[in-house]
Chains A and B, each alone.
Chain A
Amino acid sequence: MAAETKSIRHRVPGENRSTEDFWLRLDNAAKIYPAIQSEEMTAVFRLSVVLKEPVKISSFLKAVSLLEERFPYYKMIPRKGFFWYYLQHYNEKIPVMPDAGIPCRAFEKDQLYFRVLLKGSKVSVEFSHILTDGSGGFEFLRSLLMTYFEVCGLLAQGKKAFMRHDQEVSPEEFEDAFGKNFQTDLPVPVKVAKSFHLPFALKTTPRFGVMSFLVPLGEVITKAKQFSVSLTVFLVGVYLLSLQNIHSKLAPLKKRHSRKILRVQVPVNLRKMYPSKTMRNFSLFVTPEIDLRLGQYSFEEILNIVHHKMQLETDRKLISKIISRNVGAERNILLKNTPLFIKSLFLFFTYKIQGTSRYSGVITNLGKVSFHEEVDKFIDYFVFIPPPPNKTLKVNCGVIGFGDNLVLSFGNISASRELEREFITTLTRSGVPVKILP
């Protein structure tokens, strides 16, 4: 590991010396973001929690200050090296600011790459994907909330189900789990064909807009169980069905020339498959698909395909193959010794040309979250807003459940809300009530 510190907690708190000492290599998933991020495609995601009461600001600020030194690996800013970007520790206070309502804004240069936002009873954290993924960000939010509840006197001392402010920082928390679980000499995964993309025009800048919908979790799970599939499979099925409906509504000539493979990217949290405590990026994708060249699919057929495809692709050996390809590319002797400016150009154009050409959409389900019975009663619901999609994908979706509330958030940079409309109509037609969140 790069910044090999046995106990970060005892070194990082110093001022300039520790700031110079503590640095990290970017993890495998983060390596592409510095090359492709922009004002519009920020690579920033947001996790929000809506409480039942307004936030008590003095207790909240105290909770934040208690956590100042608990997550040193998030107090980093990306810097240019000669061959790679790296993360440099930046001993600034955790930025807490009023929520101006514009989600997932880009971070300024020389600013920490995460922020905490507040408005009324809503607490949000925004992270750049350079630092972590949704699971890492959620652990931070959990820790912040639990500390807040503890400061408010709502949680008995000594609950250990979260990362406590007085706990030692373990080096495992900032390890590059991809590198740790990398196996050499594995065969390369099969290349897949390019897929269909939403034909919508882009909005004028700033493009990114979000619509969130609240649905009763119990009812969606009941619907999923009727088809004997999981919640994630059910939602991916609805997403693919919505894409199929959009494809079928295309003008005949456009339909004829458009690609016929509908493929959805579904992030998988690898911490569930590999023993890792990392708080940095550690997720990969599975890609269920339907091929419209073979004809139209019923909802049941789609669910059946998605179910089996996800079962198949979440096999640990197959995941190892993908990790091996990704990390292997990073360790390629030619690539790793290429100066950064050439590498960045290469990554930028590769992403521009290929990037998401093989996916029609992304749906990220963080699953049903729960804190502790003592504090769950103070929480209304959670919202997860994925990073702004690129110009090829145009729309993506983030899902998170809490109690009986499931929140679906659609990030969209196009001028059309057709996908959202299709998705929600499919749910309401199946008898699931949907409420639009403000």
Chain B
Amino acid sequence: MICKNCLVELDDDMKRCPLCGTPVSGAGVPEEHTDHDRVVTPGLSYLEDAEKHVLQRILWQVTATLLVSGIVATIIIDRARHDTITWSLYPVTICLMVLSYASLFAFWQTKAIFRILAGWLLSTVFLIAINQYTAPSDWPVGLGIPLVFAVNFIALALLAVFHLTKRKGLNLLAYTFVAVAVLCISINGIISRYFTGVIYLGWSIIVAACILPVAAALIFVFFRTWNNPRLQKIFHT
């Protein structure tokens, strides 16, 4: 039996040509051919999770070693020169705060939002405790706590945006840039408010003006390459 349209040879039991769909004279029921089997690769997520945790711990070890070394060195230098702790209090505070965040992220297996909130709380407690240890002043309330608040609030907002973003690619980098710009403006505002009593934005506006066009370009590339969010493919040279 030959198809009238494409002239190929049909099987005797075919009601229509599977190539062009032309019905064999006297037949009306379309014939469908089935999909052939496809192999589906099994997921490997549990292995990836284990690998991720090992990597996190190694990163924490490196971070902790560097921070503790920094703390010890700073205190030794400060004490050697002034016989007491003076300026080293500030870098030590910052190092301890970073260490608390690193530890929470390395060892507390919970949602990122809880880890950030816990880090925020710990940082605030650090600031207050250190202020109590030294001669109490207004810098924790006027400067330290607002800065910690700004950093954590923006980080949480960024995390929420990441979470709500369904398609992840260059857009995440763009959002991070925007967050950095907002953070710079906040830091600039908080510092100027503490020292001068008024909010004066200077350097942060320049930083934002530089960062935001980059973020806009990244967003543009992201939507331009909507179907291909993998960076290696898009940016190979």
Interface residue ranges, A against B (CB under 8 Å): 2, 10-11, 13-15, 17-18, 20, 23, 25, 53-58, 60-61, 65, 68, 79-84, 86, 88, 96-99, 118-121, 336-337
Task: List 28 interface pairs A-B (beta carbons < 8 Å), by A numbering.
Answer: A2-B236, A11-B41, A13-B38, A13-B41, A15-B40, A17-B41, A20-B230, A54-B7, A54-B9, A55-B9, A56-B11, A57-B14, A58-B10, A61-B18, A79-B233, A81-B233, A81-B234, A82-B221, A82-B225, A82-B235, A86-B233, A88-B233, A96-B19, A98-B5, A118-B6, A118-B8, A120-B6, A120-B8
Contacts of A79 in B (CB 8 A): 225, 227-228, 233
> Which A residue sits closest to B38, measured CB to CB?
A13
A419 CA to B233 CA, complexed, in Å: 45
> Which B residue sits closest to A17, measured CB to CB?
B41
A88 CA to B6 CA, complexed, in Å: 32
Interface residue ranges, B against A (CB under 8 Å): 2-3, 5-11, 14, 17-20, 33, 36, 38-41, 221, 224-225, 227-228, 230, 233-237
Contacts of B11 in A (CB 8 A): 56-58
Tell me if A57 and B9 are in contact (CB < 8 A): yes
Tell me if A15 and B38 are in contact (CB < 8 A): yes
A56 CA to B235 CA, complexed, in Å: 46
Given contacts A2-B236, A99-B6, contact A88 B228 (CB under 8 A): yes
A88 CA to B225 CA, complexed, in Å: 13
Tell me if B41 and A81 are in contact (CB < 8 A): no
Contacts of B233 in A (CB 8 A): 23, 79, 81, 86, 88
Contacts of B230 in A (CB 8 A): 20, 23
> Which B residue sits closest to A9, measured CB to CB?
B39
A sample of 8 more A-B contacts (CB under 8 A), given A57-B3, A57-B18, is A10-B39, A13-B40, A14-B41, A58-B14, A81-B233, A86-B236, A88-B233, A120-B8
Given contacts A57-B19, A84-B237, contact A14 B9 (CB under 8 A): no
With both chains docked as a complex, state the minimum distance between the C-beta of A175 and any C-beta of chain B, in angstroms.
Answer: 16
Tell me if B225 and A18 are in contact (CB < 8 A): no
A60 CA to B33 CA, complexed, in Å: 13
Tell me if B236 and A81 are in contact (CB < 8 A): yes
Contacts of B236 in A (CB 8 A): 2, 25, 81, 83-84, 86
Contacts of A118 in B (CB 8 A): 6, 8, 19
Given contacts A2-B236, A11-B41, A61-B33, contact A97 B7 (CB under 8 A): no
Contacts of A14 in B (CB 8 A): 38-41
Contacts of A86 in B (CB 8 A): 233, 236
Contacts of B5 in A (CB 8 A): 98
Contacts of B14 in A (CB 8 A): 57-58
A13 CA to B37 CA, complexed, in Å: 9
Contacts of A57 in B (CB 8 A): 3, 8-11, 14, 17-19
A-B CB proximity, top 9 nearest: A120-B7, A14-B41, A98-B6, A98-B20, A13-B39, A54-B9, A57-B8, A336-B237, A81-B234
> Which A residue sits closest to B2, measured CB to CB?
A54
With both chains docked as a complex, state the minimum distance between the C-beta of A314 and any C-beta of chain B, in angstroms.
Answer: 32
A29 CA to B57 CA, complexed, in Å: 47
With both chains docked as a complex, state the minimum distance between the C-beta of A28 and any C-beta of chain B, in angstroms.
Answer: 14
> Which B residue sits closest to A341, measured CB to CB?
B224
Contacts of B225 in A (CB 8 A): 79-82
Contacts of B224 in A (CB 8 A): 80
> Which A residue sits closest to B230, measured CB to CB?
A20
A336 CA to B237 CA, complexed, in Å: 5
A81 CA to B225 CA, complexed, in Å: 8
Contacts of B38 in A (CB 8 A): 13-15
A120 CA to B20 CA, complexed, in Å: 12
Contacts of A17 in B (CB 8 A): 41
A81 CA to B3 CA, complexed, in Å: 44
Contacts of A55 in B (CB 8 A): 8-9
With both chains docked as a complex, state the minimum distance between the C-beta of B230 and any C-beta of chain A, in angstroms.
Answer: 7
A97 CA to B5 CA, complexed, in Å: 12
Query: Quick one: which of A18, A57, A58, A119 has the most chain B CB within 10 A?
Result: A57
> Which B residue sits closest to A53, measured CB to CB?
B9
Contacts of A99 in B (CB 8 A): 6
With both chains docked as a complex, state the minimum distance between the C-beta of A98 and any C-beta of chain B, in angstroms.
Answer: 4
With both chains docked as a complex, state the minimum distance between the C-beta of A136 and any C-beta of chain B, in angstroms.
Answer: 22
Contacts of B39 in A (CB 8 A): 10, 13-14
With both chains docked as a complex, state the minimum distance between the C-beta of B174 and any C-beta of chain A, in angstroms.
Answer: 14
Interchain CB contact (< 8 A) of B6 among A65, A68, A82, A119: A119
A99 CA to B5 CA, complexed, in Å: 10
Given contacts A57-B10, A86-B236, A119-B6, contact A18 B41 (CB under 8 A): yes
> Which B residue sits closest to A65, measured CB to CB?
B36
Contacts of A98 in B (CB 8 A): 5-6, 19-20
Contacts of A53 in B (CB 8 A): 9
With both chains docked as a complex, state the minimum distance between the C-beta of A251 and any C-beta of chain B, in angstroms.
Answer: 47
Contacts of A96 in B (CB 8 A): 19
With both chains docked as a complex, state the minimum distance between the C-beta of B177 and any C-beta of chain A, in angstroms.
Answer: 17
With both chains docked as a complex, state the minimum distance between the C-beta of B234 and any C-beta of chain A, in angstroms.
Answer: 5
Given contacts A20-B230, A58-B11, contact A81 B40 (CB under 8 A): no
With both chains docked as a complex, state the minimum distance between the C-beta of B78 and any C-beta of chain A, in angstroms.
Answer: 47
> Which B residue sits closest to A68, measured CB to CB?
B36
> Which B residue sits closest to A80, measured CB to CB?
B225
A212 CA to B234 CA, complexed, in Å: 42
